[in-house]
Amino acid sequence: MATSLLLSLTGWVGFRGWQARAHLVNAAGLAGELSAHLVSGDNERAERVLSALQGQSNAALRATGGFEWSLGRPVPYAGANLSAVRQIAIAIDDLARQAFPALVRVDLGVLTPREGRLDLAGLRTLGDELVKVDAAVRRIRTELAAVGDDRLITQVRAALETLRGELDRLAAMTSAAERAGRLLPPLLGADGPRRYLLVSQNSAELRATGGIFGAYAVIEADRGRVSLGDQGSGASVVALDDPLTVPTELRALWGELPGLYPADVNLSPHFPTAAALFREMYRRDRGETADGVLAVDPVVLSYLLTVTGPVRVPGGVTLTAENAVKTLLHDTYQRLEPAEQDSFFATAAATVFDVLFTRKVQSSGLLTAFDRSIQERRILFWSARPEEQRMFGDSRMAGVLPEQDTVPTVGVFLNDGSGAKLGYYLRQSADLTVGDCGTDRRRELKLRVTLRSTAPASGLSRSVTGLAMAGDPYTLRTLVSVYGPAGGVVRDARLDGTRTPMAAGTERHRQVATVNVEVGPGDSRTLEVSLLTGPTDSGAAELWLTPTATPWTTHVVTAPNCSQ
């Protein structure tokens, strides 16, 4: 009798488990659909999808909450899996009822300027809603992180890891949005006028954060109204006779260059250092103080042009989403004299941003453009006010090189060593492979970076070939700096299969190795680097790369957690 009862119970739990799985799969699909409607600004469809999502999440909750399900949970191994599925169902239902409804209520229109002004009261209301969403997401994330996964079957563990990953991404987004809701009003002059330096990173001449600071414009913000002031080229900010003080580790890597020349402030990937140096150089040269620095690149402009439509800039050139990068990083150097180039660069970015604040645009498109730019680390911001800067934390927009990792992270940062504008012709890829766990819980990482040049062998202007520090004016010289994971080690490097010397140093608790890689027209070179992580259980790894004119091709091969 007891055996018959146990078999019946097992069959019933299995049936309910299959029901729960179906509802959870449906809920996952609906969550993705909901996200798409929210980003596109289609709130009517978002509300319908949310209602369906809540129905599926509630059905999954009921399927995992019956008396027979509770009886099975104390059973070894099987019980751990039943408990995990139950927690997954609870997490999804909580998201559907406590987080997503507030996101559907959010009015993204407050993110769009109207007649050159942003609605500060609307932004405050948005911030209040996002505080609640962020709190709910963080609570759900914490509860799901407490679920043990050492006795789970493959399918349940995979589902748990997937949901945790999605929650990590959602938490990063809601946290950033919540901070933005609190920060935007004061940044936009709610408490008094603000002045910022908008710098355009020129990725034709690469630096670790993206490119040299090729042009700047002063942004003035007062009670939500934004206007443009002084404009100029980065080269017009005079180099200093006495270098500014730079961090000791940075000076060991690059000498006094970051503290002397505006074009070298961002040889390090740590944007706060670069921004503070450039702000001080501007102050000494112009006698004016900025409240912060905002950096963008031509790719950001191309994304924004998909929202604004074509923009005619001084010089009779019309910039579009399709031609912006080529026009700014290639054509300009071929058709204009150096003095004219500086003027063109200084006004192009400023004109696009001016149009952005005066032309009616779709909030959903604007949000997509900014989100993509921030994810690719093409928009960076630093506030000179420490209390504001702390609120940005280690977010991508802050450009902070963190001193600790949640997941082992390898940085590959590129600095031009040619003294030229050949970066437009560079094509690059990076592959990272995670090795086995060692007895000390360290893992070996294998990094493979390939640089290829699409530059012609002749026909480029002197503005492009520049100083030709590689000897041949058409050869790309790139200083590739590999930053190891926090607490890890950079072991050795091979260039095209041959061991190559590395300039070694440290920055913010990371070992740094720099290799000079020279690539002739039409050629490619491959750099292979062996690294060790610090002690970690994670089998995941991440790459942080210099944003370039054309996207990187990347591939990360992960491994099981050390506890599996």
245-262 per-position pLDDT tens digit: 999 999 999 999 999 999
Q: What is the mean pLDDT of the chain?
A: 86
With bands split at pLDDT 50, 70 and 90, how would you rate the model's confidence at 9?
Answer: very low
94-108 per-position pLDDT tens digit: 888 888 888 787 776
With 90 as the cut, is the pLDDT of residue 403 above it?
yes
Q: How far is CA 284 from CA 195, 232, 265, 266, 289, in A?
A: 16, 15, 15, 18, 9
518-558 per-position pLDDT tens digit: 999 999 999 999 999 999 988 999 999 999 999 999 999 99
The H-assigned helical ranges of 231-337 are 248-254, 257-260, 271-286, 298-308, 324-326, 332-335
Mean pLDDT score, 210-231:
89
- Phi/psi region, residue 466 (left: phi>0; alpha: psi -120 to 50; beta: rest), is left
88-97 per-position pLDDT tens digit: 888 888 888 8
pLDDT value of position 77: 53
Q: Do 479 and 514 contact (CB within 8 A), yes or no?
A: yes
Mean pLDDT score, 67-88:
65
pLDDT value of position 71: 56
Mean pLDDT score, 405-425:
96
444-457 per-position pLDDT tens digit: 999 999 999 999 99
With 60 as the cut, is the pLDDT of residue 3 above it?
no
pLDDT value of position 23: 73
pLDDT value of position 2: 33
Q: How many CA atoms lie within 13 A of 193 on its CB side?
A: 7
Q: How far is CA 266 from CA 189, 515, 549, in A?
A: 28, 18, 17
pLDDT value of position 275: 98
The residue ranking higher by pLDDT, 244 or 166, is: 244
With 50 as the cut, is the pLDDT of residue 6 above it?
no
pLDDT value of position 11: 39
Taking residue 196's Cβ as centre, other Cβ atoms within 10 Å add up to 23
With bands split at pLDDT 50, 70 and 90, how would you rate the model's confidence at 392?
Answer: confident
Q: Are strands 503-507 and 498-499 parallel, antiparallel or unpaired?
A: unpaired
pLDDT value of position 5: 31
CA–CA gap between residue 543 and residue 367 (Å, rounded)? 24
CA–CA gap between residue 364 and residue 457 (Å, rounded)? 44
CA–CA gap between residue 208 and residue 96 (Å, rounded)? 41
340 Cβ contact list (under 8 Å, min separation 6): 315
Show contacts of 459-464: CB within 8 Å, 24+ apart.
460/333, 460/334, 461/333, 461/334, 463/333, 463/334, 463/336, 463/338, 463/341, 463/421, 464/204, 464/333, 464/334, 464/420, 464/421, 464/422
Q: What is the CA radius of gyration of the chain?
A: 26
The residue ranking higher by pLDDT, 155 or 13, is: 155
Share of the chain above pLDDT 90, in %: 48
pLDDT value of position 20: 67
pLDDT value of position 380: 96
CA–CA gap between residue 348 and residue 519 (Å, rounded)? 31
Share of the chain above pLDDT 70, in %: 91
270-327 per-position pLDDT tens digit: 999 999 999 999 999 999 999 999 999 999 999 999 989 999 987 788 999 999 999 9
CA–CA gap between residue 272 and residue 283 (Å, rounded)? 16
Taking residue 115's Cβ as centre, other Cβ atoms within 10 Å add up to 8
Q: How far is CA 125 from CA 102, 367, 371, in A?
A: 12, 18, 21
With 50 as the cut, is the pLDDT of residue 370 above it?
yes
* Residue 490: exposure state from Cβ atoms within 10 A (0-12, 13-18, ≥19): buried
Q: How far is CA 242 from CA 239, 255, 289, in A?
A: 9, 13, 19
With bands split at pLDDT 50, 70 and 90, how would you rate the model's confidence at 39?
Answer: low
pLDDT value of position 66: 65
331 Cβ contact list (under 8 Å, min separation 6): none
The residue ranking higher by pLDDT, 159 or 526, is: 526
